[in-house]
């Protein structure tokens, strides 16, 4: 009917504009597939213009294209950790210690990676945002969260000055990735690289999603001691294409670091393949020193976090 066609026209125009914007922002240099995400983004934008929506974390109602992100109030609450940290693994320290202090794990030399930093503590509303990304596949939200990692990247010469580095999202086992349909670490990597490329004076790293593989499924890490976690992920990762990391700094990227066992297992595999130095960058650090008592609005299952 004419009335229905007229009502659809504005939505279709918005969807087309949104598709062009996404294509443009993806860039020709991106190695990530974008077509399924583009169709999803178009549908989300058209839906948001038709129906008022609420922030998925705080529930505050708002209506705008791209409503799968967070409201402005929630974004403002996601603050980078600015207190003292372990000089090695970046563990936030509760006391007013100097940042050159090493935690007990780093003093013992238990980690295979050389340096790690996290953007923030794993607390609300960042915790809920990560869980929405992981279990409800909010990929646009993941791209925005990845941009936060660019701030951490620029602030640390270990990352920004790494030179010919290769950025490696921590892989899921193929059965887990098939269940979820995507890898949240890869989505964060896309957001990070887009943010780095937006700065003309910055050389973004090469992203490699295939050189590191998780060859064995593991039991959930939740409830295991640090030593048990290390044993749980021993021999789980292998480098399928050693020539891509030999002689290069490898930078692992993941959503959450808990004990660091998973990142350490990845680093061991990369060093055996010839990477002289392995760094790790994560969005959040889960630590009992900063417990978060606020209940998340979605199921808080942290079994994957290492």
172-188 tens-digit pLDDT:
999 888 888 999 999 99
The model carries a pTM of 0.78
Q: What is the mean pLDDT of the chain?
A: 79
pLDDT at 298 over 50: no
Nearest-angstrom CA–CA distance, 233 and 243: 24
pLDDT at 36 over 90: no
- What's the average model confidence in pLDDT over 21-42? 45
Residue 137, phi-psi category: left (phi > 0), alpha (psi -120 to 50), beta (remainder): left
Nearest-angstrom CA–CA distance, 139 and 99: 34
pLDDT at 110 over 60: yes
State the DSSP H helix or E strand holding residue 253, giving kind and residue range, or none if neither.
Answer: strand 249-257
Q: Decide which of 51 and 295 is more confident.
A: 51
Question: Are the beta carbons of 94 and 79 closer than 8 angstroms?
Answer: no
| 24 pLDDT tier (thresholds 50, 70, 90) | very low
Most confident of 49-53, 74-78, 134-138, 248-252: 248-252
pLDDT at res. 137: 86
pLDDT at 83 over 70: yes
Share of residues in the chain with pLDDT > 90 (%): 48
- What's the average model confidence in pLDDT over 238-259? 96
pLDDT at 222 over 90: no
Question: Are the beta carbons of 122 and 292 closer than 8 angstroms?
Answer: yes
At the topology level of CATH, where does 79-285 sit?
Rossmann fold (3.40.50)
Domain boundary assignment for the chain: 79-285
Judged by average pLDDT, the poorest of 13-17, 192-196, 204-208 is: 13-17
Question: Are the beta carbons of 189 and 169 closer than 8 angstroms?
Answer: yes
């Amino acid at each position: 009917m004419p009335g229905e066609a007229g009502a659809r026209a504005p939505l279709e125009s918005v969807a087309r504009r949104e598709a062009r914007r996404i294509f443009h922002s993806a860039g020709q240099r991106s190695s990530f597939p974008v077509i399924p995400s583009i169709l999803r983004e178009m549908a989300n934008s058209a839906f948001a213009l038709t129906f008022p929506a609420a922030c998925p974390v705080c529930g505050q109602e708002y209506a705008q294209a791209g409503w799968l992100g967070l409201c402005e109030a929630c974004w403002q609450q996601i603050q980078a950790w600015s207190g003292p940290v372990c000089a090695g693994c970046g563990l936030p320290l509760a006391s007013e210690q100097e940042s050159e202090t090493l935690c007990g794990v780093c003093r013992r030399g238990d980690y295979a990676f050389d340096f790690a930093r996290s953007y923030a503590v794993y607390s609300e509303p960042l915790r809920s945002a990560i869980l929405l990304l992981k279990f409800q596949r909010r990929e646009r939200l993941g791209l925005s969260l990845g941009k936060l990692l660019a701030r951490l990247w620029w602030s640390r010469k270990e990352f920004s000055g790494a030179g010919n580095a290769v950025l490696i999202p921590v892989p899921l086992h193929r059965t887990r990735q098939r269940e979820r349909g995507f890898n949240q670490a890869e989505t964060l990597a896309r957001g990070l690289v887009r943010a780095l490329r937006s700065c003309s004076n910055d050389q973004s790293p090469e992203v490699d999603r295939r050189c590191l593989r998780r060859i064995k499924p593991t039991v959930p890490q939740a409830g295991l001691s640090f030593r048990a976690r290390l044993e749980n992920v021993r021999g789980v990762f292998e480098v399928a294409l050693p020539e891509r990391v030999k002689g290069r700094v490898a930078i692992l990227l993941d959503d959450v670091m808990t004990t660091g066992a998973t990142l350490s297992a990845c680093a061991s595999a990369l060093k055996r393949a010839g990477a002289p130095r392995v760094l790790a960058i994560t969005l959040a650090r889960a630590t009992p020193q900063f417990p978060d008592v606020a209940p998340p609005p979605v199921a808080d299952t942290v079994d994957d976090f290492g």
